[in-house]
Amino acid sequence: MEIREIQASDLNGIKAVVRDVWEWEEAFDDEDVIDACVAIYFAPVLHEATFGRVAVLDGEIVGVIFGLEIGKPAAYKHILEDLTPHILRLTQTNDQDRQAMCDYITALHTTYAALIADTEHEYDGSLDFFAVSKAVQGQGVGKQLWQQLKSHFQRQNIKKIYLYSDSECNYQFYEGQGFVRVQTQEMRVNFGGEEDVTEQFLYSCELG
């Protein structure tokens, strides 16, 4: 397995990992709608991240990590895709799916803002995005990606970072790497007439 810098040609492979891990097929039936949701959600990560790596196995991307050094210029804006087709696709979908997507993004941003309110100034970096394909989970891929980001942060004299996770993710992984949960907030979103309830977490990590 190879851990390497992210390239512009990696975008589709990264999005495939996101889809594999998040299982959005449970909420939406239309493949184009799912692709639009992933692209719109992922755009802010590419717009802000200063560090990124992918794990590649047999020519296929199986893991990805992005981090942010606060105050540093973004490094991956050139990978951003034009969101216009995705936005148009969402405007053409049924009202229920469109509303569910809007409600989810709004609830997520509102919850994140509440979790970090009054403490954001304490941090000089963040783990912005982290995903490992199901097929290789438990094989050390995540640890290798995290060590790459952690080492980079330490070289840049980043002392304290944060990340968001939730009750449907493998948040125990972060706890095993030295992260401490500092805030929890419940989030409720309606998907297809059914209420989805998750706990959203803010984790903190001292890097020395």
Is residue 55 over pLDDT 90? yes
Mean pLDDT, the chain, rounded, equals: 91
DSSP string, 20-46: HHH-GGGT---HHHHHHHHHHHHHHHH
CATH of domain 2-206: 3.40.630.30
Whose CA is closest to 161, among 37, 25, 65, 56?
65
**Structure confidence at residue 142 as a pLDDT band (50, 70, 90):** very high
Q: Which two tokens stand for residue 2?
A: 């190879």
pTM over 0.85: yes
The four Cα atoms 26, 28, 34, 37 give a dihedral, to 10 degrees, of: -100
